[in-house]
A and B are shown apart, each in its own frame.
Chain A
Amino acid sequence: MKNIQMMGLSSINGPLVALDGVPFVSFDEMVELSLADGGRRSGRVVQIEGGRAVVQVFEGTQGLSLVNTMTRFTGRPMELPVSYEMLGRVFDGAGRPIDGLGDIYADKKLDINGQPINPVSRVYPRDYIRTGISSIDALMTLIRGQKLPIFSGSGMSHDKLAVQIVRQSRLAEEAGQGFGVVFAAMGVKNDVADYFRRSFEEGGVLEKVVMFLNLSNDPITERIFTPRCALTAAEYLAFEHDMHILVVLTDMTSYSEALREFSSSKGEIPGRKGYPGYLYSDLASIYERAGIIKTSKGSVTQIPILTMPNDDITHPVPDLTGYITEGQIVLDRALDQNGIYPSIGILPSLSRLMKDGIGEGYTRADHSAAANQLFASYARVQDARSLASVIGEDELSPADRKYIFFGKMFEKHFVSQSFNENRDIERSLNLGWKLLSILPKEELDRVGSDMLELYYRPESAAEFKEA
Chain B
Amino acid sequence: MSDPKDIIYSINGPVITVRDSRTFSMQEMVYVGDARLTGEVIAVDGKATTIQVYESTTGLRPGEPVFSTGNPMSVTLGPGLLKNIFDGIERPLREIEALSGAFIRQGADVERLDAKRKWRTVVGICAGGKVRGGQIFARCQETPLIEHRCLVPPLIEEAEVIYAAPDGEYTVDDVIAKVRDKKGREGELKLAQRWPIRIPRPALRRLAIEMPLVTGQRIIDSVFPIAKGGAAAVPGGFGTGKTMTQHQLAKWCDADIIVYIGCGERGNEMTQVLEEFSELIDPSTGQLLTNRTILIANTSNMPVAAREASIYTGITLAEYYRDMGYHVAIMADSTSRWAEALREISGRLEEMPAEEGFPAYLPSRLSQFYERAGYMQTLCGADGSVSIIGAVSPQGSDFSEPVTQNTKRFVRCFWALDKSLAYARHYPAINWNNSYSEYVEELGSWYAKNVSGEFFKCRQEILTVMNEENKLMEIVKLIGSDVLPDDQKLIIEVARVVRIGFLQQNAYHKDDTYVPLEKQFKMMKTILYLYRKSKELIIQGRPFSEIVSTGIFDRVVKIKYDVPNDRLELFDAYYRDIDEALKGAKA
Binding site for B on A (CB under 8 A): 24-29, 47-51, 77, 111, 113-125, 145-146, 239, 268-272, 276-278, 280-281, 284-285, 287-289, 291, 293-296, 314-316, 319-320, 322-324, 326-328, 347-348, 350, 352-353, 355-356, 368, 372, 375-376, 379-380, 386-387, 390-391, 395-397, 400, 442, 445-446, 448-449
Contacts and interface: CB of A to CB of B under 8 A. Distances in A.
16 contacts: A48-B62, A49-B62, A118-B96, A120-B271, A121-B102, A122-B270, A278-B344, A281-B341, A284-B301, A288-B267, A350-B239, A352-B239, A353-B268, A356-B272, A387-B476, A395-B480
Interface of B: 9-13, 19, 56-63, 85, 93-94, 96-97, 100-106, 237-239, 262, 264, 266-268, 270-272, 274-275, 297, 299-302, 304, 337, 340-341, 343-344, 347, 350, 353, 356-357, 393, 395-398, 420, 423-426, 476-482, 500, 508, 551, 554, 557-558, 561
A116 B97 contact: no
Given A268-B347, A295-B101, A397-B481, A288 B301 contact: yes
A268 B61 CA distance: 22
Given A26-B61, A448-B561, 19 more contacts: A24-B61, A27-B61, A117-B103, A119-B85, A122-B268, A122-B270, A271-B343, A271-B357, A276-B347, A277-B347, A280-B337, A284-B299, A291-B267, A293-B102, A295-B102, A316-B396, A348-B239, A387-B480, A445-B557
Contacts of A51: 62
B175 to A, nearest CB: 32
Contacts of A387: 476-477, 480
A121 B101 contact: yes
A119 B271 contact: yes
A281 B10 CA distance: 22
Contacts of A118: 93, 96-97, 100-104
A26 B60 contact: yes
Contacts of A376: 424-426
Residue among A124, A281, A296, A376 with max Cβ neighbours from chain B (10 Å): A281
Contacts of B268: 122, 124-125, 145-146, 291, 326, 353
A287 B266 CA distance: 9
B353 A269 contact: yes
A27 B274 contact: no
B299 A27 contact: no
Contacts of B60: 26-27
B217 to A, nearest CB: 17
Contacts of A146: 268
Contacts of A379: 420, 423-425
A368 B477 CA distance: 30
A50 B299 contact: no
Nearest to B419: A348
Nearest to A76: B59
Contacts of B299: 116, 119, 284, 288
B558 to A, nearest CB: 8
B274 A277 contact: no
Given A27-B60, A280-B340, A293-B102, A323 B393 contact: yes
Contacts of B104: 115-118
Contacts of B103: 114-118, 121
Contacts of B481: 397
Contact of A326 (B11, B13, B266, B302): B266
B468 to A, nearest CB: 18
Nearest to B274: A120
A261 B97 CA distance: 37
A242 to B, nearest CB: 14
A334 to B, nearest CB: 15
Given A27-B61, A115-B104, A326-B266, A120 B85 contact: yes
B266 A77 contact: no
Nearest to B59: A26
A291 B272 CA distance: 12
Nearest to A390: B478
Given A28-B59, A376-B424, A117 B102 contact: yes
A24 B103 CA distance: 28
B271 A391 contact: no
A388 B253 CA distance: 44
A347 to B, nearest CB: 4
Contacts of B11: 27, 47-49
Nearest to A349: B239
A283 to B, nearest CB: 8
The listed residue with most B CB atoms (<10 A of its CB), out of A121, A146, A442, is A121
B84 to A, nearest CB: 10
B62 A124 contact: no
A26 B59 CA distance: 5
B114 to A, nearest CB: 15
Given A27-B60, A270-B357, A120 B301 contact: no
A458 B393 CA distance: 43
A180 to B, nearest CB: 20
Contacts of A117: 102-104, 267, 301
A125 B103 CA distance: 17
A49, A115, A146, A356 — which one has the most chain B CB atoms within 10 A of its CB? A115
Contacts of A281: 264, 300-301, 304, 340-341, 344
A375 B423 contact: yes
Given A115-B104, A145-B268, A314-B396, A77 B58 contact: yes
Contacts of B12: 47-49
A322 B398 CA distance: 14
Nearest to A286: B301
A287 B270 CA distance: 16
A284 B269 CA distance: 14
A115 B105 contact: yes
